[in-house]
Amino acid sequence: MFYLEPHRRHPVVEVMTSSPDPGPVSEALPDEAAWIDRAQRGDEDAFVTLAEHYHGRLWATASRYARSRPELEDLVQDLTIKIWRGLGSYRSDAPFEHWLMRVAVRGCYDFLRKHRRRRETEVAEHPDRPDPADPTDSRFAERRDAWELCEQLLAELDPKDRVLITLLDLEERGVRETAKLTGWSESNVKVRAHRARKKMRIAFEELNLER
């Protein structure tokens, strides 16, 4: 559950556990600076407004790392808590969305590290895709197989490398942006990404040999 204060249920729980409407990220929040200022001063309703506005971004980011719908919902709530608790560190000299995404990416990294051993024994399932109307649909089967293969290869990586590959290859972010989001140096990002891709290629070749 999402709590802003001990033992107090807050309405934002319903927002955080619902799948956002499909489509692009919503337009800029009107008077965002005022909402942020109010939230930083402890106004929970102002924070709910921010959380609702950026829910789609958090959901999309978390879905790259979660392996089931319940896990995705829990991760989004955890990220929202991190953002609420870290609001005091935000400075208006940078876009709020950039700061929020840094918190989200680092929160996903912490999540992978914390749950790595448990996830090694679990079977992955797509966290945010409904069953097809026609279970024999070959296109759905192909997408499902591709996702399962991608998840299997990513599972070969340690948490840091998985975050890098997700940002660089799945989300197609640049090295500089990835470095800013993770807090790691650009050279570290390049070296680790090269090694991670090599490891994934080897794992892919081994999978093909087994078939």
Confidence of residue 150 (pLDDT cuts 50, 70, 90): confident
**CA–CA gap between residue 136 and residue 163 (Å, rounded):** 33
Count the neighbouring beta carbons within 10 Å of the beta carbon of residue 200.
Answer: 19
pLDDT at position 122: 56
Count the neighbouring beta carbons within 10 Å of the beta carbon of residue 42.
Answer: 10
DSSP per-residue letters across 111-172 = HHHHHHHHHHTSPP--TT-PPPSSTT-HHHHHHHHHHHHHHHHHTTS-HHHHHHHIIIIIS-
Whether residue 2 has pLDDT greater than 60? no
pLDDT at position 104: 96
pLDDT at position 9: 44
Over residues 40-52, the pLDDT tens digits come to 999 999 999 999 9
Q: What is the signed CA dihedral for 32, 105, 45, 34, rounded to 10 degrees?
A: -20
pLDDT, mean over the chain: 82
pLDDT at position 23: 42
In this prediction, what percent of the chain has a pLDDT beyond 70? Answer: 72
Residues 99 and 87 sit within 8 Å (Cβ to Cβ): no
- Arithmetic mean of pLDDT, 25-36: 84
Whether residue 11 has pLDDT greater than 80? no
- Arithmetic mean of pLDDT, 71-89: 94
Q: Between 167 and 118, name the one with better pLDDT.
A: 167
Q: What is the signed CA dihedral for 126, 117, 177, 146, rounded to 10 degrees?
A: -30
